[in-house]
Amino acid sequence: MTIQLVVVRPFGTYVKGAVIGDVASIAAVLASEQAANVVRVQQPSSAQPGKGS
């Protein structure tokens, strides 16, 4: 699974709903005061065989 951030309150150039997936950007946001403006989500890294269409 891959960790991503989803913006819940706009800041900087990010709008609500934006997904931050770059590892360096994730680290920078979480280390800043902007960490309160995002939530962490897990994204499956690949499709599971037999799941979905």
Question: Which pLDDT score is estimated for 51?
Answer: 59
Residue 14 to residue 8: CA distance in whole angstroms: 10
Question: Which pLDDT score is estimated for 48?
Answer: 58
Q: Which residues of 2-37 are buried (b: 16+ CB within 10 A; e: fewer)?
A: eebbebeeebeebeeeeebeeeeebeebeeeebeeb
Question: Which pLDDT score is estimated for 44?
Answer: 75
Instruction: For residue 15, give every residue at least 6 positions away whose Cβ sits within 8 Å of its Cβ, in sequence order, or none.
Output: 7
pTM of the model: 0.79
Question: Which pLDDT score is estimated for 3?
Answer: 94
User: Within the chain, which residues score under 50 in pLDDT?
Assistant: none
